Amino acid sequence: MMLPDRVRVVEVGPRDGFQNLPPIDTEIKYQIISGLIEAGIKEMEITSFVSPKAIPQMADAKELAVRVVNEFGDRPNLNLMALVPNLKGAQAALEAGITTATYVISASEQHSLKNVRKTTAESLADLKQLLREFPQLKVRLDIATAFGCPFLGSIPEADVLKLASVAAQAGVVEIILCDTIGTGNPVQVHSLAQKAMRIGIPMGLHLHDTRGLGLANTLAGLQAGVAMFETSVAALGGCPFAPGASGNTATEDLLNLLASLGLDTGVSMERYLQAVDQVIKDVLPTAGGHMAKVPRNPCC
Protein backbone atom coordinates (compact mmCIF):
# COMPACT_ATOMS: atom_id res chain seq x y z
CA MET A 1 0.00 0.00 0.00
CA MET A 2 1.55 3.30 -1.11
CA LEU A 3 0.97 6.02 1.47
CA PRO A 4 2.32 9.55 2.01
CA ASP A 5 5.32 9.89 4.31
CA ARG A 6 3.61 12.63 6.31
CA VAL A 7 -0.03 13.62 6.72
CA ARG A 8 -1.35 17.06 7.67
CA VAL A 9 -4.41 17.05 9.94
CA VAL A 10 -6.36 20.31 9.61
CA GLU A 11 -8.86 20.77 12.43
CA VAL A 12 -12.02 22.61 11.31
CA GLY A 13 -14.33 21.96 14.26
CA PRO A 14 -14.16 25.46 15.78
CA ARG A 15 -15.34 26.87 12.46
CA ASP A 16 -17.27 24.24 10.52
CA GLY A 17 -18.60 22.56 13.65
CA PHE A 18 -19.50 25.53 15.82
CA GLN A 19 -21.27 27.41 13.00
CA ASN A 20 -23.94 24.71 12.81
CA LEU A 21 -24.89 24.83 16.49
CA PRO A 22 -26.64 27.39 18.67
CA PRO A 23 -24.22 30.18 19.70
CA ILE A 24 -21.50 28.90 22.03
CA ASP A 25 -19.95 30.98 24.81
CA THR A 26 -16.65 32.49 23.66
CA GLU A 27 -14.85 31.21 26.73
CA ILE A 28 -15.89 27.63 25.97
CA LYS A 29 -14.73 28.03 22.37
CA TYR A 30 -11.37 29.30 23.62
CA GLN A 31 -10.98 26.42 26.08
CA ILE A 32 -11.69 23.83 23.37
CA ILE A 33 -9.30 25.47 20.91
CA SER A 34 -6.64 25.63 23.62
CA GLY A 35 -7.13 21.94 24.37
CA LEU A 36 -6.78 21.03 20.70
CA ILE A 37 -3.54 23.01 20.43
CA GLU A 38 -2.14 21.45 23.59
CA ALA A 39 -2.98 18.01 22.18
CA GLY A 40 -0.67 18.74 19.27
CA ILE A 41 -2.94 20.09 16.51
CA LYS A 42 -0.78 22.31 14.29
CA GLU A 43 -3.32 23.57 11.74
CA MET A 44 -6.79 24.77 12.67
CA GLU A 45 -9.64 26.93 11.39
CA ILE A 46 -10.57 28.76 14.56
CA THR A 47 -13.46 30.89 13.30
CA SER A 48 -15.16 32.52 10.33
CA PHE A 49 -15.25 36.25 9.56
CA VAL A 50 -18.77 36.29 8.18
CA SER A 51 -21.66 38.64 8.76
CA PRO A 52 -23.13 38.03 12.24
CA LYS A 53 -26.54 38.61 10.68
CA ALA A 54 -26.00 35.62 8.40
CA ILE A 55 -24.25 33.37 10.93
CA PRO A 56 -24.66 34.73 14.48
CA GLN A 57 -22.64 31.78 15.84
CA MET A 58 -19.51 33.54 14.52
CA ALA A 59 -20.30 37.00 15.92
CA ASP A 60 -17.32 36.74 18.30
CA ALA A 61 -14.82 36.03 15.49
CA LYS A 62 -12.58 39.02 16.12
CA GLU A 63 -12.59 38.67 19.92
CA LEU A 64 -11.82 34.97 19.74
CA ALA A 65 -9.18 35.24 17.02
CA VAL A 66 -7.30 38.03 18.78
CA ARG A 67 -7.24 36.08 22.03
CA VAL A 68 -6.07 32.83 20.41
CA VAL A 69 -3.42 34.58 18.30
CA ASN A 70 -2.10 36.53 21.30
CA GLU A 71 -1.85 33.37 23.38
CA PHE A 72 -0.56 30.86 20.83
CA GLY A 73 0.49 32.80 17.75
CA ASP A 74 4.21 32.58 18.48
CA ARG A 75 4.25 28.78 18.76
CA PRO A 76 6.46 27.22 16.09
CA ASN A 77 4.71 25.55 13.14
CA LEU A 78 1.23 26.48 14.42
CA ASN A 79 -1.04 27.70 11.62
CA LEU A 80 -4.17 29.46 12.87
CA MET A 81 -6.67 30.00 10.05
CA ALA A 82 -10.13 31.43 9.47
CA LEU A 83 -12.74 31.29 6.76
CA VAL A 84 -13.33 34.56 4.88
CA PRO A 85 -16.25 35.00 2.45
CA ASN A 86 -15.27 38.36 0.96
CA LEU A 87 -12.91 41.35 1.05
CA LYS A 88 -14.40 42.67 4.30
CA GLY A 89 -13.82 39.31 5.97
CA ALA A 90 -10.25 39.16 4.68
CA GLN A 91 -9.49 42.61 6.10
CA ALA A 92 -11.02 41.66 9.46
CA ALA A 93 -8.97 38.46 9.59
CA LEU A 94 -5.72 40.31 8.96
CA GLU A 95 -6.58 42.90 11.61
CA ALA A 96 -7.10 40.05 14.10
CA GLY A 97 -3.68 38.59 13.30
CA ILE A 98 -4.82 35.77 10.98
CA THR A 99 -2.58 35.42 7.92
CA THR A 100 -4.00 32.22 6.38
CA ALA A 101 -7.59 32.21 5.18
CA THR A 102 -9.96 29.73 3.60
CA TYR A 103 -12.24 30.80 0.78
CA VAL A 104 -15.10 28.59 -0.44
CA ILE A 105 -16.38 28.16 -3.99
CA SER A 106 -18.95 25.54 -4.93
CA ALA A 107 -18.46 23.40 -8.01
CA SER A 108 -22.27 23.30 -8.22
CA GLU A 109 -24.06 26.38 -9.56
CA GLN A 110 -27.22 25.57 -7.59
CA HIS A 111 -25.38 25.12 -4.32
CA SER A 112 -23.38 28.29 -4.94
CA LEU A 113 -26.55 30.30 -5.43
CA LYS A 114 -28.07 28.83 -2.25
CA ASN A 115 -24.88 29.31 -0.24
CA VAL A 116 -23.58 32.75 -1.29
CA ARG A 117 -26.19 33.92 -3.82
CA LYS A 118 -23.57 34.02 -6.56
CA THR A 119 -22.69 31.81 -9.49
CA THR A 120 -19.48 29.82 -9.43
CA ALA A 121 -17.97 32.21 -12.00
CA GLU A 122 -18.88 35.24 -9.87
CA SER A 123 -17.32 33.64 -6.79
CA LEU A 124 -14.17 32.89 -8.77
CA ALA A 125 -13.96 36.53 -9.89
CA ASP A 126 -14.29 37.62 -6.25
CA LEU A 127 -11.51 35.22 -5.26
CA LYS A 128 -9.19 36.71 -7.86
CA GLN A 129 -9.95 40.21 -6.58
CA LEU A 130 -9.26 39.10 -2.99
CA LEU A 131 -5.90 37.64 -4.05
CA ARG A 132 -4.98 40.90 -5.80
CA GLU A 133 -5.98 43.18 -2.95
CA PHE A 134 -4.54 41.09 -0.10
CA PRO A 135 -1.25 39.63 -1.34
CA GLN A 136 -0.08 39.31 2.27
CA LEU A 137 -2.86 36.78 2.95
CA LYS A 138 -2.26 33.11 2.21
CA VAL A 139 -5.50 31.91 0.68
CA ARG A 140 -6.66 28.30 0.57
CA LEU A 141 -9.62 27.22 -1.53
CA ASP A 142 -12.31 24.80 -0.39
CA ILE A 143 -14.16 23.46 -3.44
CA ALA A 144 -17.60 22.59 -2.07
CA THR A 145 -19.81 19.83 -3.55
CA ALA A 146 -16.80 18.39 -5.40
CA PHE A 147 -18.28 14.89 -5.14
CA GLY A 148 -22.00 15.61 -5.32
CA CYS A 149 -24.65 18.29 -4.91
CA PRO A 150 -27.98 18.03 -3.02
CA PHE A 151 -29.71 19.89 -5.87
CA LEU A 152 -27.95 18.67 -9.02
CA GLY A 153 -26.70 15.22 -8.03
CA SER A 154 -23.31 14.20 -9.41
CA ILE A 155 -20.82 16.87 -10.47
CA PRO A 156 -18.61 16.19 -13.54
CA GLU A 157 -14.94 15.73 -12.66
CA ALA A 158 -14.05 18.12 -15.46
CA ASP A 159 -15.95 20.97 -13.74
CA VAL A 160 -14.10 20.45 -10.48
CA LEU A 161 -10.70 20.13 -12.13
CA LYS A 162 -11.23 23.26 -14.24
CA LEU A 163 -12.18 25.28 -11.16
CA ALA A 164 -9.17 23.95 -9.26
CA SER A 165 -6.81 24.70 -12.15
CA VAL A 166 -8.02 28.29 -12.55
CA ALA A 167 -7.77 28.89 -8.80
CA ALA A 168 -4.23 27.50 -8.71
CA GLN A 169 -3.20 29.81 -11.55
CA ALA A 170 -4.79 32.74 -9.70
CA GLY A 171 -2.54 32.15 -6.70
CA VAL A 172 -4.24 30.11 -3.98
CA VAL A 173 -1.69 28.24 -1.88
CA GLU A 174 -3.62 24.97 -1.67
CA ILE A 175 -6.95 23.41 -2.63
CA ILE A 176 -9.27 21.17 -0.65
CA LEU A 177 -11.85 18.98 -2.40
CA CYS A 178 -14.95 18.84 -0.19
CA ASP A 179 -17.51 16.05 -0.04
CA THR A 180 -20.10 18.48 1.31
CA ILE A 181 -23.00 16.03 1.61
CA GLY A 182 -21.05 12.82 2.06
CA THR A 183 -22.06 11.14 -1.20
CA GLY A 184 -18.54 10.34 -2.39
CA ASN A 185 -17.30 6.76 -2.59
CA PRO A 186 -13.70 5.46 -2.48
CA VAL A 187 -13.41 4.91 -6.25
CA GLN A 188 -14.72 8.41 -6.94
CA VAL A 189 -12.47 10.00 -4.31
CA HIS A 190 -9.37 8.18 -5.56
CA SER A 191 -10.06 9.15 -9.18
CA LEU A 192 -10.72 12.85 -8.60
CA ALA A 193 -7.94 13.26 -6.05
CA GLN A 194 -5.36 11.61 -8.29
CA LYS A 195 -6.26 13.87 -11.21
CA ALA A 196 -6.42 17.01 -9.07
CA MET A 197 -2.94 16.42 -7.68
CA ARG A 198 -1.52 16.78 -11.18
CA ILE A 199 -2.41 20.48 -11.03
CA GLY A 200 0.76 20.92 -9.03
CA ILE A 201 -0.15 22.58 -5.72
CA PRO A 202 -0.93 20.96 -2.35
CA MET A 203 -4.28 19.17 -2.50
CA GLY A 204 -6.41 18.09 0.44
CA LEU A 205 -9.72 16.42 1.20
CA HIS A 206 -12.64 17.45 3.42
CA LEU A 207 -14.81 14.36 3.78
CA HIS A 208 -18.19 14.11 5.46
CA ASP A 209 -19.30 10.87 7.06
CA THR A 210 -22.99 11.25 6.22
CA ARG A 211 -23.26 7.71 4.85
CA GLY A 212 -20.50 6.14 6.93
CA LEU A 213 -17.81 6.33 4.24
CA GLY A 214 -15.64 9.04 5.76
CA LEU A 215 -12.69 6.83 6.70
CA ALA A 216 -13.04 4.59 3.64
CA ASN A 217 -12.81 7.69 1.47
CA THR A 218 -9.89 8.92 3.56
CA LEU A 219 -7.99 5.73 2.86
CA ALA A 220 -8.76 6.09 -0.85
CA GLY A 221 -7.39 9.62 -0.71
CA LEU A 222 -4.24 8.46 1.06
CA GLN A 223 -3.69 5.81 -1.60
CA ALA A 224 -4.07 8.50 -4.27
CA GLY A 225 -1.27 10.43 -2.56
CA VAL A 226 -3.29 13.05 -0.66
CA ALA A 227 -1.47 14.15 2.47
CA MET A 228 -3.85 16.76 3.92
CA PHE A 229 -7.26 16.14 5.48
CA GLU A 230 -9.77 18.53 7.05
CA THR A 231 -11.72 16.93 9.88
CA SER A 232 -13.73 18.09 12.86
CA VAL A 233 -13.47 17.48 16.58
CA ALA A 234 -16.20 15.09 17.78
CA ALA A 235 -17.59 14.87 14.20
CA LEU A 236 -19.25 18.29 14.50
CA GLY A 237 -20.29 20.11 11.36
CA GLY A 238 -22.41 20.04 8.26
CA CYS A 239 -23.67 22.62 5.81
CA PRO A 240 -26.72 24.80 6.54
CA PHE A 241 -27.21 25.28 2.79
CA ALA A 242 -26.98 21.60 1.81
CA PRO A 243 -29.92 19.45 2.96
CA GLY A 244 -28.80 16.13 4.39
CA ALA A 245 -25.22 17.15 5.09
CA SER A 246 -24.52 15.77 8.54
CA GLY A 247 -21.26 15.81 10.45
CA ASN A 248 -17.71 15.73 9.19
CA THR A 249 -15.39 12.81 9.69
CA ALA A 250 -14.28 12.98 13.31
CA THR A 251 -10.71 14.09 13.82
CA GLU A 252 -10.28 11.54 16.60
CA ASP A 253 -11.21 8.77 14.12
CA LEU A 254 -8.79 10.12 11.51
CA LEU A 255 -6.01 10.21 14.11
CA ASN A 256 -6.72 6.59 15.02
CA LEU A 257 -6.67 5.51 11.36
CA LEU A 258 -3.37 7.27 10.71
CA ALA A 259 -1.82 5.79 13.84
CA SER A 260 -2.95 2.30 12.83
CA LEU A 261 -1.21 2.82 9.48
CA GLY A 262 2.02 3.84 11.22
CA LEU A 263 1.74 7.51 10.25
CA ASP A 264 2.83 9.94 12.96
CA THR A 265 0.68 13.07 13.30
CA GLY A 266 2.37 14.55 16.35
CA VAL A 267 -1.00 14.63 18.12
CA SER A 268 -1.57 12.95 21.49
CA MET A 269 -4.74 10.85 21.26
CA GLU A 270 -5.14 10.93 25.05
CA ARG A 271 -5.05 14.72 25.18
CA TYR A 272 -7.12 15.09 22.04
CA LEU A 273 -9.87 12.95 23.54
CA GLN A 274 -9.92 15.30 26.53
CA ALA A 275 -10.91 18.08 24.12
CA VAL A 276 -13.55 15.78 22.64
CA ASP A 277 -14.88 15.16 26.14
CA GLN A 278 -15.26 18.90 26.66
CA VAL A 279 -17.16 19.26 23.39
CA ILE A 280 -19.56 16.53 24.50
CA LYS A 281 -19.91 18.04 27.98
CA ASP A 282 -20.21 21.74 27.11
CA VAL A 283 -21.40 21.88 23.50
CA LEU A 284 -23.29 18.81 22.25
CA PRO A 285 -23.93 15.68 24.36
CA THR A 286 -24.60 13.55 21.27
CA ALA A 287 -21.34 14.49 19.54
CA GLY A 288 -18.30 12.28 19.15
CA GLY A 289 -16.77 9.94 16.61
CA HIS A 290 -16.11 6.24 17.16
CA MET A 291 -13.00 6.85 19.27
CA ALA A 292 -14.98 9.01 21.67
CA LYS A 293 -17.04 5.95 22.55
CA VAL A 294 -14.18 3.45 22.90
CA PRO A 295 -13.34 2.51 26.53
CA ARG A 296 -10.23 4.41 27.65
CA ASN A 297 -8.00 1.39 28.26
CA PRO A 298 -4.36 2.53 28.39
CA CYS A 299 -3.08 -0.85 27.20
CA CYS A 300 -4.76 -0.82 23.73
The b/e string for 160-186 (b: 16+ C-beta within 10 A; e otherwise) is bbebbbbbbebebebbbbbbbbbbbbb
Residue type, 166: V
Residue 106's Cβ-count burial label (10 Å; 0-12, 13-18, 19+) is buried
- The active-site residue, picked from 149, 239, 299, 300, is 239
- Does the annotation mark 239 as catalytic? yes
Is residue 81 within 8 A of residue 37, CB to CB? The reply is: no
List beta partners, residue 205: 177, 229
Label residue 153 left, alpha or beta by phi (over 0 means left) and psi (-120 to 50 means alpha).
Answer: left
| Cα angle 93, 208, 52; round to 5 | 30
**Active centre residues (catalytic):** 239
